[in-house]
Structure 1
Amino acid sequence: MDLEKYRRIFLQESEKYLHDIGDVLITLENAPQDARHWTELHGKVHSIKGMARAMSLETIARLAHEMEAWCLKFQKGDCVARETSMQILSEGYAMLKTLVPRFGVLDLPDLPAAYHRLLQTLALGPEGGEQGIREVSREPGVPITDPIDPIRTIGVPCSLIEELLGFSQELLLMEKSKPLLAPEFASVQGWIDHYAAMAKGLYFRLAQLRLMSIEDFVDLYRHTIHHQARSLGKSIRMTVAGGDIKADVALLDRLREPMIHIVRNAIAHGIESPQNRKNVGKPEEGTIRIEAESRKEALILRIADDGAGIRRESIERHLREKRGMDDAQIAGLDEKTFFETILSSDFSTASVADETAGRGIGMNVIAQAISYLNGTLGISSKPGIGTTFTFELPMSLSVVHAVVFTVGPHILAVPTSSLDSAGYGVSGLDAGTSPVLDLRKLFRVGIDSARIPGVLFLRRPADSTAAPDAVKAMMVDTIMGNKPVMVMRQGQMIGSAGIFSGIGVLESGALAAMMDVSMVMRLLRGRHP
């Protein structure tokens, strides 16, 4: 029996169930009487219990069994789910998240005591009473916490991956400097080309070991942020756009504190209470939206909330008292300069700062952290509409999904997020009213009239003010498909063309030039710089 194989399967499947359990618990806190959600939670906890027992992981199986018993009572309506009961189940969920990657081994300080206290708490049952539950689960010195999940380390040190990446880069540079071979050495040239493709593929796979998706990065905080909102009596929904974009773990790790601080600010100071939101015609549930975008050689991260916005009067008071500015001077500031005032080291709103979040010194520290990463921080805010913080960071390593295609002998790619659809034939185009950029003509390659061309329909940006005659599609030769592409810095020669954003490395090792769709649109309108 290959025990290690089954341990891997257990870990993979349990992590999927734990992710779902966290989501269901959040839903239940807003609808604790809904039996359907209790049925769903019961089923997922039961699945973890079954897998744990099959692997003889009794610590996990016993905890899951006790949690399952609570779910069953709420599911049948035998008990009413109260706030304390939800908290105990959340602590059970946090304990499962701690035990599963350790395969049930109680190998951390205070973990055995916390585990047994939690079992004792669960054994009281939901009907045990809030006081009894509180006394058992909160014994001094044995806290049951729900910490922010760390970014899990991979099986080898990151320094070793860096070293291997360095060797791979040297191989790629050696391939570029190879001498020209005479025609009679065509077989040797074929071997060298194959070696070069293998070296590029190796670099692609090594680089991916250091990458993490934005979706997974945000998930590290989702449950903890929800608990903070609940402790403040607020209902918050987090959404992610561009979550499939991957970035270097080292970069994301340095973004942990700035990200969590801004999100906590949004909950504590930005998003109003449910009643206040209702009074102004907003949904009682607030929204925090995290958007990721890969733009040329930068990672763009936006953290937006739909709250009340930053209080302008606090900034105006600071500008008067600390900067000696009068009303006319303040009114003459552009929005960017005005809101960047809160990033100053001497700006503080102590009246609203607390241990959960504060806009004063903390915002200055955030600005310094982003500057340390050679990035920029932008702020925009509208009264009653919300606030958006935008990070723009250099990203030497990134993986995006892109539609890869050919134009003659050239391999090109366009980020999938820039397209509405792709296909063959021109049936969806109106030649009279829908401008089409034929890349075959642009790159001056031969056009085979017998071949049906591929067509890429471009997505119009949400904030686009383009004229009606703006480019809507590009015509190509062959569409190779939607593929993961590792984006690297482009050279000066390719960059001078003005329509490329980088060089993409495919899993096969082949290179593809990444097209900048916005520049392509300008090209068709005759505004190419």
Structure 2
Amino acid sequence: MRWPFWRTLSDPSGCSKTEARTGSFSKPVRSYAFFPWSDGSRGYSTTVMDLEKYRQIFLRESDKYLQEIGSILIDVEADPEETGHWQELHGKIHSIKGMARAMSLESISRLAHEMEAWCLKFQRKEWKAREESIRVVTEGYSLLKALIPRLGRLDVPELNTAYYRLLELLSKGPQGREPADGSKRRADSQTPISVDPIRSIGVSCSLIEELLGFSQELLLMERSKPALSPEMAAVQSWVDQYAALAKGLYFRLAQLRLMSIEEFVDLYRHTIHHQARQMGRLVRIVLSGGDIKADVALLDRLREPMIHIVRNAIAHGIEAPEERKAKGKPEQGTIRIEAESRKETLVLRIADDGAGIRREAIERYLREKQGYGDADIARMDTKAFFAVILSSDFSTASATDETAGRGIGMNVIAQAITYLNGTLDIDSIPGEGTSIAVTLPMSLSVMHAVVFTVGPYRIAVPTSGLDAASYGLPPDDVRESFLDLRRLFGVEINGSQPPGVLKLRSSSAASPGRRRIQGLMVDTIVGNKPVMILRPGQLIRNARIFSGIGVLESGVLTSMLDVDMLAQVSGQIPETAMEV
């Protein structure tokens, strides 16, 4: 969101020049605002601003832009000649400058203006983007991150020194001199001001919670309604429409509380990249399952543990490029973050392809601190062995440094996960890397699922668990491994219509009492839809093959099929369900 250009004037109560410069007003002030009217024209309007309200908007919107700038800078480092990166960077910095001017935050707007001038030169290829130039822009980004929460105050000597030193660097151009043509940049007033329409507003989490509570009450009232006689069919139809609207309202309100795992990881992607560079490491982040959404309250509490896990992977796992090359590995290390929605839990797996955990350090700890013998250690399973790392007095670090977390060990991370009623499991192979799985309960999540019908029943299966969806009978050689849900649920089969066929991504292994299921046959395939997952009631739990209840965007309910459980109980499935 870009703000209109505000020119603030003091109110009758008076405010000092310092207040006007820093935006530190204690009272609302009367302002002139330059607005785009709805008919496309522009004009001045007088209004009274609640500056505290606009400060909060400024901080929130600037934080969003800073996250985006951090991600773009990573792309710039990978391909500095791509003008599209510089154009995108220019737009984000320009937005921060516009908002800072609206709040009369001169120090922020001045720095942003100098930075966007550089971006514009690189975008137009008037200057060549070199490593040192990118470093200066990145330093400006870090300085903006420090200035914005302080609302531009330069009252810390170190910050003041860094600010004016960087302004001097930026004013000289990338090669330490004025631009090649010897011209000075145009005055700031000649920079065109672009005003976008308002597309979003900020809403507090507490208000969303309150609205969610109201919508839940509406759903409960609908369920407890008395039975209506046939003569009241018209009323019943109205009630049904009302119930569908209430379910749709609940779904959309719940969406406001959700954040995708991709957005969550983007919060610290640039920090990870920066830490790796400080350590002399080359690291890339690979994310899968990023479209899964979880409650923002849960993810907010998970933020600190996650960043420490990733920092540990960089500090103690990923080797230096030369060492990796000598081992026959790519010079750039990989940290994989995998997200999975499993029944009522969110599973996040963070794996690196680094050196792995030194088993010798764990064995030494068990002998010296726990009194274990060699036989006791040999009997420990992998999970219990690596869980030793979570002890408060255990450390594999040879030295404590800022990147490693200044002594923050895995026990602190484990305590934070336990506080969230979650679990943390560690696995590691020397020379190949370490994997940490965090499993957390979640009350709300959204995932994509293929929705289908079996007679009157509407069912869904996670899209991530499918290879293909089509119509028609499976090939003869694999047909017996396809489970016909129509027969299992005892619904009438229409022989004139081909069944919908869902091929599972990983078939279950054949074992005594357990059939090998490669796919499912259903009536109709509705499509791939976003589904909000709710916790199942006792009746659904008793059915065993369902993992929960899903709510579609339309408010329609669907049962979530648990394919793994279906395979486990397949020994109890009648033979006729496997016949076609």
What residue identity is the alignment partner of 2:306?
M
In 2, Cα distance between equivalents of 1:162 and 1:97: 30
Structure 2: runs of 5 or more not aligned? 1-34, 41-58, 103-108, 178-199, 575-580
Give the structure 2 partner of residue 208 of structure 1: 255
In 2, Cα distance between equivalents of 1:334 and 1:166: 46
Cα deviation per residue 1:68-106 (whole Å; 9 max; x = unaligned)?
Answer: 266269x57x767244x322111334567899xx9xx99
Q: Give the CA deviation at 1:256.
A: 0.7
Q: Give the CA deviation at 1:399.
A: 0.6
- Are residues 1:430 and 2:475 paired? yes
Q: Give the CA deviation at 1:329.
A: 1.3
Give the structure 1 partner of residue 560 of structure 2: 514
What residue identity is the alignment partner of 1:401?
H
In 2, Cα distance between equivalents of 1:243 and 1:63: 35
Q: Give the CA deviation at 1:192.
A: 1.6
- Are residues 1:454 and 2:454 paired? no
Q: Give the CA deviation at 1:18.
A: 7.5
Answer whether contact 1:211 1:247 (CA < 8 A) is retained: yes
Q: Give the CA deviation at 1:154.
A: 7.3
In 2, Cα distance between equivalents of 1:442 and 1:82: 64
Answer whether contact 2:292 2:447 (CA < 8 A) is retained: yes
Give the structure 2 partner of residue 81 of structure 1: 130
In 2, Cα distance between equivalents of 1:48 and 1:346: 45
Answer whether contact 1:299 1:395 (CA < 8 A) is retained: yes
Cα deviation per residue 1:468-508 (whole Å; 9 max; x = unaligned)?
Answer: 97222211122221111110011111111111010001111
What residue identity is the alignment partner of 2:233?
A
What residue identity is the alignment partner of 1:430?
P
What residue identity is the alignment partner of 1:303?
I
1:164 maps to which of 195, 211, 235: 211
In 2, Cα distance between equivalents of 1:208 and 1:286: 35
SS at 1:387 equivalent: strand
**Using a 3 Å threshold, how does the CA distance of structure 1 residues 15 and 470 change in structure 2: closer, same or farther?**
farther
Answer whether contact 1:268 1:356 (CA < 8 A) is retained: yes
Give the structure 1 partner of residue 21 of structure 2: none
SS at 1:288 equivalent: strand
In 1, Cα distance between equivalents of 2:286 and 2:39: 35
In 2, Cα distance between equivalents of 1:5 and 1:416: 45
SS at 1:356 equivalent: coil
What residue identity is the alignment partner of 1:128?
G
What RMSD, in angstroms, separates the aligned Cα atoms of the two structures? Answer: 3.6
SS at 1:486 equivalent: strand
- Are residues 1:246 and 2:293 paired? yes
What residue identity is the alignment partner of 1:126?
P
1:63 maps to which of 104, 114, 121: 114
Q: Give the CA deviation at 1:257.
A: 0.8
In 2, Cα distance between equivalents of 1:340 and 1:55: 49
What residue identity is the alignment partner of 2:130?
A
1:491 maps to which of 518, 523, 537: 537
SS at 1:128 equivalent: coil
In 2, Cα distance between equivalents of 1:519 and 1:441: 18
Give the structure 1 partner of residue 385 of structure 2: 338
**Using a 3 Å threshold, how does the CA distance of structure 1 residues 394 and 4 change in structure 2: closer, same or farther?**
farther
**Using a 3 Å threshold, how does the CA distance of structure 1 residues 179 and 235 change in structure 2: closer, same or farther?**
same
Answer whether contact 2:546 2:560 (CA < 8 A) is retained: yes
SS at 2:175 equivalent: helix
Answer whether contact 2:65 2:96 (CA < 8 A) is retained: no
- Are residues 1:124 and 2:124 paired? no
Matches within 5 A, 1:3-152: 22-23=70-71, 25-29=73-77, 36-37=81-82, 39-46=83-90, 59=109, 62-68=113-119, 71=122, 81-83=130-132, 85-94=133-142, 107-110=151-154, 118-128=166-176
Answer whether contact 2:258 2:293 (CA < 8 A) is retained: yes
SS at 2:527 equivalent: strand
Give the structure 1 partner of residue 423 of structure 2: 376
Q: Give the CA deviation at 1:452.
A: 2.9
In 2, Cα distance between equivalents of 1:359 and 1:123: 37
What residue identity is the alignment partner of 1:281?
G
In 2, Cα distance between equivalents of 1:368 and 1:5: 57
SS at 2:403 equivalent: coil
Give the structure 2 partner of residue 396 of structure 1: 443
In 2, Cα distance between equivalents of 1:395 and 1:72: 44
Q: Give the CA deviation at 1:431.
A: 2.9
Q: Give the CA deviation at 1:156.
A: 2.6
Answer whether contact 1:401 1:482 (CA < 8 A) is retained: yes
Q: Give the CA deviation at 1:173.
A: 1.8
**Using a 3 Å threshold, how does the CA distance of structure 1 residues 489 and 282 change in structure 2: closer, same or farther?**
same
Answer whether contact 2:115 2:137 (CA < 8 A) is retained: no
Q: Give the CA deviation at 1:317.
A: 1.2
In 1, Cα distance between equivalents of 2:170 and 2:241: 61
What residue identity is the alignment partner of 1:176?
R
In 1, Cα distance between equivalents of 2:211 and 2:520: 39
Q: Give the CA deviation at 1:376.
A: 0.6
In 1, Cα distance between equivalents of 2:214 and 2:552: 19
1:180 maps to which of 227, 231, 249: 227
Question: Percent identity among equivalent residues?
Answer: 60
Give the structure 2 partner of residue 222 of structure 1: 269
What residue identity is the alignment partner of 1:480?
V
- Give the TM-score of the pair, scaled to structure 2: 0.75
SS at 1:307 equivalent: coil
In 1, Cα distance between equivalents of 2:383 and 2:349: 16
Q: Give the CA deviation at 1:437.
A: 1.4
1:355 maps to which of 377, 402, 407: 402
SS at 2:370 equivalent: coil
1:273 maps to which of 314, 320, 326: 320
Structure 1: runs of 5 or more not aligned? 130-152
**Using a 3 Å threshold, how does the CA distance of structure 1 residues 51 and 108 change in structure 2: closer, same or farther?**
closer
**Using a 3 Å threshold, how does the CA distance of structure 1 residues 393 and 51 change in structure 2: closer, same or farther?**
closer
**Using a 3 Å threshold, how does the CA distance of structure 1 residues 471 and 123 change in structure 2: closer, same or farther?**
same
SS at 2:393 equivalent: coil
Answer whether contact 2:76 2:86 (CA < 8 A) is retained: no
SS at 2:246 equivalent: helix
In 2, Cα distance between equivalents of 1:373 and 1:54: 40
**Using a 3 Å threshold, how does the CA distance of structure 1 residues 347 and 52 change in structure 2: closer, same or farther?**
closer
